[in-house]
Amino acid sequence: MKTSFDLNINNPQQIREIRKRYYPHLVQGFGMDQLLVEASISEAILNAWKHGHRQSTDKDIRVHISFMKTRMLVRINDQGDGFDWRRYHSPNDLKHWFPRLEHIDEPGRGIVLLLRVMDVLRYNEKGNECLLMKKYQNQE
């Protein structure tokens, strides 16, 4: 069974409203880890707004969330110029790249959270679209 949501938002204050749509699926798929997964989705949306749209509310951020049989896929696309995601990536195992968050700036903090929680974090070449994937709790 696949359930998908296509959501457009231009302001992170709308996250509080749109989360009502996907929250039950997060609880069902991730149990106690729901908070971490939800915080990661919010983080990716916040990043798109802050860095992609420079906190403007003139453009939409497109959020696509699919709850598939064994995993959740989230795609977040902004209309900005993209960012240089490569500087946050270690050439080795991303899961073990984890500086103390208090020593890095806010954008870095968000990406580190995403790296720790998600099974997959990918950016497109331009850096204005990210793909998050996480297997459900019972699929690990």
Partner 1 sequence: MSKTTTPLNHSTTIRLEDQIHVQEAAELRETLLSEVEAGRDQFVLDLSRTTFLDSAGLGVLVTLSKRLRSVNGTATIVGASKPIRELFDLTKISPNFKWK
Listed residue (63, 69, 57) closest to 38, CA to CA = 63
| Alpha-carbon dihedral 32, 39, 65, 104, rounded to 10 degrees | -130
- Choosing from 46, 73, 120, 133, the residue that interacts with partner 1 (CB under 8 A) is 46
113 binds partner 1 (CB under 8 A): yes
- CA separation for the pair 23, 3 (Å, rounded): 12
Shortest separation between residue 136's beta carbon and partner 1, angstroms: 16
Nearer to partner 1, 81 or 98 (CB): 98
34 binds partner 1 (CB under 8 A): yes
Shortest separation between residue 135's beta carbon and partner 1, angstroms: 17
Listed residue (51, 42, 52) closest to 7, CA to CA = 42
- Choosing from 5, 10, 15, 18, the residue that interacts with partner 1 (CB under 8 A) is 15
- Choosing from 110, 123, 132, 134, the residue that interacts with partner 1 (CB under 8 A) is 110
120-123/129-135 β-pairing = antiparallel
98 binds partner 1 (CB under 8 A): yes
- Choosing from 27, 33, 71, 85, the residue that interacts with partner 1 (CB under 8 A) is 33
- CA separation for the pair 44, 60 (Å, rounded): 14
10 binds partner 1 (CB under 8 A): no
Burial 74-95 (b: 16+ CB within 10 A, else e): bbbbbebeebebeebeeeeebe
Where do contacts with partner 1 occur on this chain (CB under 8 A)?
Answer: 12-13, 15-16, 32-36, 38-39, 42-43, 46, 98, 100-102, 106, 109-110, 112-113, 116-117
